[in-house]
């Protein structure tokens, strides 16, 4: 656990300075948050501190942080920072641009959910096609236990969260506003469900409004959290594509949903696929196959493929190509429902089967 | 020029035996068509000749061939076979499966048109989206002087020919019926234009009806004629995909137009792109870029890119990104319309500019 001092220091720094600033990130990395604040307070004109000294002196940020911390406790908002148990270590791939601290509203454990997650992004002005694909894909991902990470915006973002929530799956919105706010207001009921069942995380203070810059730098957090980023619909110049570039720079796997060449909102996706920048994905199965392909986790496809036994193979075969109830699978392989359920859970963890509305179904990963 | 004997022999053999039969192709390669017929006549039970001897003996095929040749002369149908000047040598890539002889109705020179051609294939039961893309793409290809090769069928085939003809561009239908027939009948007016302005070619006799097998083996001719085959719409199991496999086996470059993942008629295209089997193409520019990339012709992009001079670059810049009339381009670079036209034609041949309804436009090839 972190000392209250460090927690407070990070909150104060993230209130005083806009997120995603490499220079502040570098100073925190060099001195640690508490010592950096000491320096900002005592030597504000030190050249190393650049313009930050003056900004720090202009306001009592530590007092703001204390007030925010109190408010967080009152509102059930968690403060997560490097070193706290719920910090997702993949954010460290952002190095100096990593969030100083995150606020989280919602019951979902951030670190655990992000450890098995897919980021889904796309246009705000999405078409019906894009919305349908995002909802369907994210419902399938959720049913297989993958957490859907998106931005909480209108269009593809909202459809992705909705799809996951439709099957009560885990989903996290990375907001450009304070974690307690429903922004945009039109997504009010979506945020109500995210607060109650998923999570909304943010690197700006509780209650803070978003702005253009915050929307842009927020994208790097979405890109960093998951091993794979899927763009469902995106115009040629768009925020979604900027998220893809962030993800690419961090070595994340890029996936794109193809669309009609006549649709401006598929132009970004088709271009990414054409240039070889992204793999074409059609559905959750395709996405899961990519995740497992790039995963270096011991539970990854490559290692499990060899160790799958004959009994497990029979279970997989029974729910290929259609979903089967656990009862029917158990009967088919001649074991108890309990034993069969345990095997299915193991197979699910390795990505060979997924939960569906009708029971269990093999993913397309196995036979490849 | 071929002797009348060899011409007649090839016509007779192609009447007696179904096209695309490797065994007959091998026998023709071994003995030559005239000697093979001698053997079929004198030693029909020779084991090397297999079942072909009996078939040959069952009918007077040479008489049929003489009648067909007369009919061809009357109807203005050309007979093209290996060794005649209009034979497209890329058909030799089919080896033993190459057509024994082709019948051609229509003014377009086969060899010359095919030397600068793109094959476009797709579903008969195409969607409006597919039809639109095929028409637009083929109109653009035609305006840039590329010959569009397709199968004359309903759906994508018809749309491709129509697109090319809309700009009076060169286009060839490879028919599974006799070259004089309009099959399917619903494409009657399309075939009327192909007979008058393009060409219909066929490896089955004049007047012959198509059948399932002839439709299938016809695909290999489409695949062989062009360096690049584009599939616009195709279901997962479809004739269009079988053409793509033929093309792949011959080392042709495969391109596919992406489509909604929700459309069964784009499923074959999306699958080809996803698996890396085909390059995603959105329009004629993308296709031309692929053709030039795989071309080993001295006029190919790679060689021309280095030799383009400053004057040519100014011409290209003037018609980027919008079409310009030759008058305006000439004025812009300060030369006569004649000189400018000559340069544009040279640049067109290397794929840097294309003719449009409004004049000339740079392709997206140059700046790559």
Which domains occur in chain A, in start order? 4-76 (no CATH), 110-294 (3.40.50.450), 301-362 (1.10.10.10)
Test mutation, B135, B265, B280, chain A, max A CBs within 10 A: B280
Nearest CA in chain B to A280: B274
Based on C-alpha coordinates, what's the Rg of chain B? 22
Q: How far apart are CA A307 and CA A174, in angstroms?
A: 37
Q: How far apart are CA A251 and CA A219, in angstroms?
A: 15
Strand, coil or helix: what is B309? coil
* pLDDT at residue B305, rounded to an integer: 40
Query: Which residues of chain B are within 8 Å of residue A280 when distances are taken between CB atoms?
Result: 258, 270, 273-274, 280
Paired sense of beta strands B228-231 and B253-256, if any: parallel
Query: Which residues of chain A are within 8 Å of residue B257 when distances are taken between CB atoms?
Result: 261
Complex-level ipTM: 0.74
Of B160, B232, B223, the closest CA to residue B194 belongs to B160
Phi, psi of A228 (to 5 degrees): -135, 135
| Inter-chain Cβ pairs, chain A and chain B, closer than 8 A | 55
* pLDDT at residue A192, rounded to an integer: 98
Count of other CB atoms within 10 angstroms of residue B71: 16
* Residue B42, burial from CB neighbour count under 10 angstroms (0-12, 13-18, 19+): exposed
Of A93, A86, A291, the closest CA to residue A201 belongs to A86
Quote the DSSP letter at residue B352: S
- Both tokens assigned to B20: 């695309």
- Least confidently predicted of A49-58, A190-199, B115-124, B199-208: A49-58
Quote the DSSP letter at residue B89: G
Of B148, B165, B146, the closest CA to residue B355 belongs to B146
* pLDDT at residue B180, rounded to an integer: 97
Query: Which residues of chain B are within 8 Å of residue A281 when distances are taken between CB atoms?
Result: 274
* Average pLDDT along chain B: 90
Say yes or no for a CB contact (<8 Å) between B129 and A266. no
Nearest CA in chain B to A279: B274
Per residue, what are the HEC states of chain A? Answer: CCCHHHHHHHHHHHHHCCCCCHHHHHHHHHHCHHHHHHHHHHCCCCHHHCCHHHHHHCCCHHHHHHHHHHHHHHHCEEEECCCCCCCCHHHHHHHHHCCCCEEEECCCCHHHHHCCEEEEECCCCCCHHHHHHHHHHHHHHHHCCCEEEECCCCCHHHHHHHHHHHCCCCEEEECCCCCCCCCCHHHHHHHHHHHHHCEEEECCCCCCCCCHHHHHHHHHHHHHHCCEEEECCCCCCCHHHHHHHHHHHCCCEEEECCCCCCCHHHHHHHHHHHCCCCEECCCHHHHHHHHHHHCCCCCCHHHHHHHCCHHHHHHHHHCCCCCECHHHHHHHHCCCHHHHHHHHHHHHHCCCEEEECCEEEECCCCCC
Average pLDDT of the residues in B39-58: 92
Given a cut of 70, is residue B199 above it in pLDDT? yes
Residues in B lying within 8 Å of A, measured between beta carbons? 129, 132-133, 257-262, 266, 270, 273-274, 279-283, 286
Q: How far apart are CA B201 and CA B222, in angstroms?
A: 10
* pLDDT at residue A304, rounded to an integer: 38
Distance from CA of B262 to the nearest CA of A (A): 8
State what percent of residues in chain B have pLDDT above 90: 73
Query: Which residues of chain B are within 8 Å of residue A266 when distances are taken between CB atoms?
Result: 258
Query: Which residues of chain A are within 8 Å of residue B261 when distances are taken between CB atoms?
Result: 133, 257-258, 282-283
Strand, coil or helix: what is B367? coil
* pLDDT at residue B354, rounded to an integer: 84
* pLDDT at residue A338, rounded to an integer: 77
Say yes or no for a CB contact (<8 Å) between A273 and B280. yes
The partner residue sitting opposite B259, judged by closest CB among A260, A274, A281, is A260
* pLDDT at residue B296, rounded to an integer: 61
* Residue A3, burial from CB neighbour count under 10 angstroms (0-12, 13-18, 19+): exposed
- Both tokens assigned to A42: 């005592």
Count of other CB atoms within 10 angstroms of residue A75: 14
* pLDDT at residue A297, rounded to an integer: 54
Q: State pLDDT tens for residues B72-81.
A: 999 999 999 9
Distance from CA of A192 to the nearest CA of B (A): 30
Q: How would you write the pLDDT of chain A (368 residues) with one tens digit per residue?
A: 456 789 999 999 999 999 999 999 999 999 999 999 999 999 989 888 888 999 999 999 999 999 999 999 999 999 999 989 999 999 999 999 999 999 999 999 999 999 999 999 999 999 999 999 999 999 999 988 899 999 999 999 999 999 999 999 999 999 999 999 999 999 999 999 999 999 999 999 999 999 999 999 999 999 999 999 999 999 999 999 999 999 999 999 999 999 999 999 999 999 999 999 999 999 999 999 988 887 765 344 333 343 456 677 788 888 887 888 889 988 888 777 877 887 788 778 667 888 887 888 887 654 32
* pLDDT at residue B339, rounded to an integer: 75
Q: Is the model's pTM score more than 0.90? A: no
Say yes or no for a CB contact (<8 Å) between A259 and B258. yes
The partner residue sitting opposite B258, judged by closest CB among A129, A273, A283, is A273
* pLDDT at residue B302, rounded to an integer: 34
Q: How far apart are CA A32 and CA A24, in angstroms?
A: 11
Distance from CA of A272 to the nearest CA of B (A): 10
Q: State pLDDT tens for residues B1-37.
A: 456 789 999 999 999 999 999 999 999 999 999 999 9
* pLDDT at residue B348, rounded to an integer: 80
Q: State pLDDT tens for residues B274-309.
A: 999 999 999 999 999 988 887 765 344 333 343 456
* pLDDT at residue B16, rounded to an integer: 96
Test mutation, A122, A280, A321, A364, chain B, max B CBs within 10 A: A280
Phi, psi of B299 (to 5 degrees): -85, 15
Location of structure tokens 């992009």: B301
The partner residue sitting opposite B260, judged by closest CB among A129, A273, A280, is A129
Phi, psi of B149 (to 5 degrees): -105, 125
Location of structure tokens 């004198």: B42
CA–centroid distance for A52 within its chain: 30
Say yes or no for a CB contact (<8 Å) between B262 and A129. yes
The partner residue sitting opposite A282, judged by closest CB among B270, B279, B282, is B270
């Amino acid at each position: 656990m972190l000392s209250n001092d460090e927690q407070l220091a990070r909150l104060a720094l993230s209130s005083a300075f806009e997120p995603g600033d490499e220079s502040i990130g570098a100073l925190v990395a060099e001195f640690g948050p508490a010592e950096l604040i000491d320096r900002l307070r005592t030597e504000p004109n030190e050249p190393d501190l650049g313009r930050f000294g003056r900004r720090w002196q202009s306001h009592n940020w530590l007092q703001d942080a204390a007030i925010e911390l109190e408010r967080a406790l009152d509102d059930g908002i968690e403060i997560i920072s490097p070193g706290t148990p719920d910090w997702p270590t993949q954010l460290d791939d952002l190095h100096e641009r990593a969030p100083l601290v995150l606020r989280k509203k919602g019951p979902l454990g951030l670190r655990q959910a992000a450890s098995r997650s897919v980021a889904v992004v796309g246009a705000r002005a999405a078409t019906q096609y894009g919305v349908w694909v995002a909802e369907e894909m994210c419902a399938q991902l959720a049913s297989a236990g993958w957490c859907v990470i998106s931005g909480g915006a209108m269009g593809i973002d909202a459809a992705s969260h909705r799809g996951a929530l439709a099957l009560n799956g885990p989903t996290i919105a990375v907001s450009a506003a304070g974690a307690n706010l429903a922004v945009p207001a039109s997504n009010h009921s979506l945020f109500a469900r995210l607060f109650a069942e998923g999570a909304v995380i943010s690197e700006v203070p509780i209650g803070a409004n978003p702005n253009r810059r915050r929307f842009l730098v927020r994208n790097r957090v979405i890109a960093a959290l998951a091993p794979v980023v899927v763009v469902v619909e995106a115009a040629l110049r768009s925020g979604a594509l900027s998220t893809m570039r962030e993800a690419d720079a961090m070595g994340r796997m890029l996936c794109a949903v193809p669309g009609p060449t006549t649709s401006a909102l598929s132009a970004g996706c088709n271009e990414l696929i054409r240039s070889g920048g992204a793999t074409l994905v059609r559905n959750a199965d395709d996405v899961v196959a990519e995740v497992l392909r790039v995963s270096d986790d011991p539970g990854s496809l490559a290692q499990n493929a060899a160790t799958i036994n004959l009994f497990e193979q029979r279970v997989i075969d029974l729910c290929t190509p259609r979903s089967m109830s656990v009862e029917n699978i158990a009967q088919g392989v001649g074991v108890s429902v309990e034993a069969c359920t345990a095997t299915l859970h193991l197979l699910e963890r390795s990505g060979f089967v997924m939960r569906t509305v009708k029971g269990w179904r093999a993913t397309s990963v196995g036979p490849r």
